[in-house]
A and B are shown apart, each in its own frame.
Chain A
Amino acid sequence: MRTRSAFDWVSLAASHAVLLVCTAVFVLPIAFMVVASFKPDDLVLREAGSWRALFPTEMSFQNYFNVFDRVNFGRFFVNSVLITGSIVVGGLLVNSMAAYAFSRMRWRGRDFCFGLVLALLILPFEAIAVPLFYQMIEFGWRNSYRVQIVPFIANAFSIYLFYSFFLQIPKEMEEAAAMDGAGAWRTFFTLIIPLAKPAFATVAILTFLMHWGNYLWPLMVVDHETYRPLPVAIAEFQTLPPIQWGDIMAFGVMMILPVLAVFLIFQKGFVRGVASSGIKS
């Protein structure tokens, strides 16, 4: 018994040691970015190779002011929020309605259409990026918000997640609503949506994670600053002369801080959402 508990103690200590090392690896780059964003630019490079890189040896907000002087950060930020927000809101509505039609309603062509959705599940966006790009030129949609929003609203994976959730809702509740004379619309908006809140939260978070960092698509379809989102903006900013690493890191901090705040507040939701993306496979 004694050896057993000694073993447990050792394994517990080892676990903690491993976790602490991992924490260092995960946190160091982020800490480095934050610290560098407050340092004068020449100091960033001078101290970048030593432990001093992780300590705020000198502090000022100058880099942050520089970012606003040099580029239209506010615009990029609003663009990203607007684009991602529209995809999330539009996607929640459109995909949940489709999933409801697939899981609960009878109509001609339903099984065929659902088969189509399932077939599209594995198709990654990259497989259609180039032809979609030419299609968007034909539509005359280059350099706009809609080119970054509309193609991404309907999403096979979101439909699938909603579909599996709706299947779990007991049919009796809808039958009761139908007895009260509620049509499909009223049933969906007053009964199903409130019941499916966790599914909506999950899809919202996954959609956000999927599109907030979009880089390839805006790089292809937007060459105008007016519609540029943050990921493309920081990639441009890091090559904008004179290259000031302090400014670049300040740009990065401002770009991620609001998202980190949202993540920390809703982290249970994030974790649950991501977890459920794997369970149903």
Chain B
Amino acid sequence: MKRISRSGSFDGLFFAAPAILGLFLFVAVPFGIAIVLSFTNLRMGSPLETRFVGWEQYLRVLGDEAFRRALFNNAVFALVVVPVQTALALGLALLLNRQLRGRVIFRTLFFMPVVFPMALVAVVWKLLLAPGSEGLVNGLLESLTLGAWTPRDFLRDPWLALPSIMVMSIWQGVGFQMVIMLAGRQGVPEQLYEAASVEGAGPWRQFLHVTLPQMKNTIFFVVVVTTILAFRLFDQVDILTKGGPRLATTTVMYETVRTTFAEARVARAAAMTVIFFLIVVVLAFLQRKLLREEREVS
């Protein structure tokens, strides 16, 4: 017996070693480095000697106009995209859950953009959103409004640039959430709906009193994943607007990468990384807390 458990101990470590080594070397170590660096003044090519400067980088980052705008933009993006995308995903999932003809085809079509790399989506939408008569979106809006729409330059308009990026992000991502919602909906026992309709509940009340509470965990999951995604926003901004016009579309990730490359400010970028991480942790923590409270209530 003893020999078996001993050989088991060796095998177990051996099986897990490559993954643990990888996670340690390429996730834990760089993150640890980021924390240490964020308290220094390291800058590539700087003649100054590297030393510890305490919280200075954090204070500078948080006092930086561009970074504050980036935080604000990410928050706005999340506040708009998360509810819209979640509601759309849920709505599409509920529609596709009905016994409609061609639902597999619809599901396939709605999911299709998910396999498109965001870089490609951004490039295609750049042409779709082109200003004046060269853009399909402007053209469609013009004919749909019977000429009342004046063509805009979506990506260079401070008020329209971020919403444009929101729209293409939802277009690309909603299929993913829809599929998760569909699975969540299919996990709801049909008897609950039968019981509800026996008691005379119409479709709306069934939605409120059966679908929503039963799918609570799925919806929460989608909300959290989408929120974290909203804070990771980078590709579309880099390809379409470079954070402009006048910081209207800059994001935390965009500022972090810009600080790393354009300014070679290692320590400041590290502090930004840590702030980014803290945001994600807070979001994940909030989700857990909300989920737990919901469980206690029900």
- Residues of A whose CB lies within 8 Å of any CB of B are 11-12, 15-16, 18-19, 22-23, 25-30, 32-33, 36, 44-45, 48-51, 53-54, 94-95, 97-98, 100-102, 105-110, 113, 116-117, 120, 122-124, 126-135, 150-154, 156, 159, 183-185, 188, 209, 212-216, 219-220, 230-232, 234-235, 238, 245, 248-249, 252, 255-256, 259-260, 263-264, 267, 270-271, 274-279, 281
A-B contacts besides A130-B256, A213-B120, 10 pairs, CB < 8 Å: A16-B100, A50-B143, A53-B139, A107-B10, A126-B253, A127-B277, A127-B280, A275-B180, A278-B218, A281-B217
**Contact present for A26 and B110 (CB under 8 Å):** yes
Min CB distance A135 to B, Å, is 5
**In the complex, A114 Cα to B222 Cα: how many Å?**
25
14 A-B pairs in the complex with CB atoms less than 8 angstroms apart: A15-B95, A19-B95, A49-B133, A54-B136, A94-B19, A97-B19, A101-B16, A105-B12, A126-B232, A127-B273, A130-B273, A184-B11, A249-B127, A274-B179
Question: Quick one: which of B19, B217, B284 has the most chain A CB within 10 A?
Answer: B19
- Residues of B whose CB lies within 8 Å of any CB of A are 5, 7-16, 18-23, 26-31, 33-34, 37, 92, 95-96, 98, 100, 106-128, 130, 132-136, 138-139, 142-143, 151, 171, 175-176, 179-180, 182-184, 187, 203, 217-218, 220-222, 225, 228, 231-232, 234-235, 238-239, 253, 256-257, 260-261, 266, 269-270, 272-273, 276-277, 280-281, 284
Which A residues touch B133, using CB under 8 A? 48-50
Min CB distance A241 to B, Å, is 16
Closest residue on chain A to residue B131 by CB atoms = A49
**Contact present for A184 and B8 (CB under 8 Å):** yes
Min CB distance A40 to B, Å, is 15
Which B residues touch A231, using CB under 8 A? 117-120, 235
Question: Quick one: which of A117, A122, A133, A150 has the most chain B CB within 10 A?
Answer: A122
* 8 Å CB contact of B18 from A98, A106, A108: A98
In the complex where A53-B136, A123-B280 touch, is A279 in contact with B187 (Cβ < 8 A)? yes
Which B residues touch A131, using CB under 8 A? 30-31, 33-34, 37, 270, 273
Which A residues touch B217, using CB under 8 A? 281
Min CB distance A13 to B, Å, is 11
In the complex where A98-B18, A107-B8, A120-B28 touch, is A126 in contact with B118 (Cβ < 8 A)? no
**Contact present for A263 and B136 (CB under 8 Å):** no
Min CB distance A59 to B, Å, is 19
**Contact present for A12 and B100 (CB under 8 Å):** yes
Closest residue on chain B to residue A212 by CB atoms = B117
**Contact present for A32 and B132 (CB under 8 Å):** no
**Contact present for B113 and A275 (CB under 8 Å):** no
Min CB distance B129 to A, Å, is 10
* 8 Å CB contact of B134 from A30, A45, A274: A45
* 8 Å CB contact of B270 from A16, A107, A130, A184: A130
* 8 Å CB contact of A252 from B22, B124, B184: B124
Which A residues touch B126, using CB under 8 A? 238
**Contact present for B123 and A234 (CB under 8 Å):** yes
**In the complex, A134 Cα to B259 Cα: how many Å?**
13
**In the complex, A259 Cα to B112 Cα: how many Å?**
10
Closest residue on chain A to residue B133 by CB atoms = A49
**In the complex, A95 Cα to B123 Cα: how many Å?**
34
Min CB distance B277 to A, Å, is 4
Closest 8 CB pairs of A and B: A154-B22, A213-B117, A107-B12, A275-B183, A278-B180, A49-B139, A98-B19, A105-B12
**Contact present for A128 and B34 (CB under 8 Å):** yes
Min CB distance B161 to A, Å, is 18
**In the complex, A152 Cα to B235 Cα: how many Å?**
19
* 8 Å CB contact of A102 from B16, B203, B235: B16
Which A residues touch B114, using CB under 8 A? 209, 274
**Contact present for B19 and A133 (CB under 8 Å):** no
In the complex where A213-B117, A264-B108, A279-B183 touch, is A123 in contact with B135 (Cβ < 8 A)? no
**In the complex, A260 Cα to B113 Cα: how many Å?**
10
**Contact present for A48 and B123 (CB under 8 Å):** no
**In the complex, A94 Cα to B15 Cα: how many Å?**
8
* 8 Å CB contact of A271 from B111, B119, B130: B111
**Contact present for B118 and A213 (CB under 8 Å):** yes
**In the complex, A135 Cα to B26 Cα: how many Å?**
9
Which B residues touch A126, using CB under 8 A? 231-232, 234, 253, 256, 276
In the complex where A33-B124, A215-B117, A278-B218 touch, is A220 in contact with B139 (Cβ < 8 A)? no
**In the complex, A219 Cα to B260 Cα: how many Å?**
12
**Contact present for B106 and A209 (CB under 8 Å):** no
* 8 Å CB contact of A232 from B5, B119, B260: B119
**Contact present for A278 and B136 (CB under 8 Å):** no
Which B residues touch A16, using CB under 8 A? 100
Min CB distance A86 to B, Å, is 13
